[in-house]
Structure 1
Amino acid sequence: MYFVYSISSLTRNYIYVGLTDNVERRFIQHNTGRNKTTKPYLPFKLIYTEEFPDRDAARKREKYLKSGIGKEFLRSKL
């Protein structure tokens, strides 16, 4: 199983969308500064997760959520 997830910075206007096979582990990595891209925006809250049977399906959804309309959808979840 693969998951598409989205996290939002608690201190800045920043939403990150990612893909993983373990959301809990990945969320901890983001919040402990082990991800170079998200480190400047610490701390985070998890705002959205979606489960997929395979990586290809998850990747397609991840790309959508990174688009303008996808980001609008995620902002509505805040």
Structure 2
Amino acid sequence: MAALYILQLNNGKYYVGSTTDYQKRFIQHQSGLCRYTSKFLPLKLVFHQEYKTYKESRKAEIWLKKQKDKSFIERIIKKRRRSS
């Protein structure tokens, strides 16, 4: 199982990634083991969506990053919170 995930950084920006284990990856980010996000601790996992394959989650990550719109990401997060 793979996942697309979104982290909220301490400066209010978002980090989008994909992985085969989003919980383990989040711990790596929180521990400062990832160069970019280590500068913006603490982080908050605000969204994740599971996919059958890493290829699918990576495709979703690339598509989302191409949107280049913070408000688009915020709408995705809000929509998920309402449906939970």
TM-score (structure 2 length as normaliser): 0.79
Which ranges in structure 2 are unaligned for 5 or more consecutive residues? 79-84
Q: In the aligned structure 1, how far is the partner of 2:39 from the partner of 2:68?
A: 25
The answer for the alignment partner of 1:23 in structure 2 is: 22
The structure where strand makes up a greater share of residues is: 1
Instruction: Compare 11-20 and 63-72 and name the one that shifted more.
Output: 63-72
Moved over 6 A (4+): none
State the 1:70 CA deviation.
Answer: 6.2
Cα offsets for 1:38-72 (capped at 9, x unmatched):
11111111111111111221111001121236643
Total equivalences in the alignment: 77
Which ranges in structure 1 are unaligned for 5 or more consecutive residues? none
The answer for the alignment partner of 2:41 in structure 1 is: 42
Identity of aligned residues (%): 32
Q: What is the RMSD of the two structures over their aligned residues, measured on CA atoms?
A: 1.7
TM-score (structure 1 length as normaliser): 0.85
Residue identity in the other structure for 1:67: K
Residue identity in the other structure for 1:7: L
Residue identity in the other structure for 1:4: L
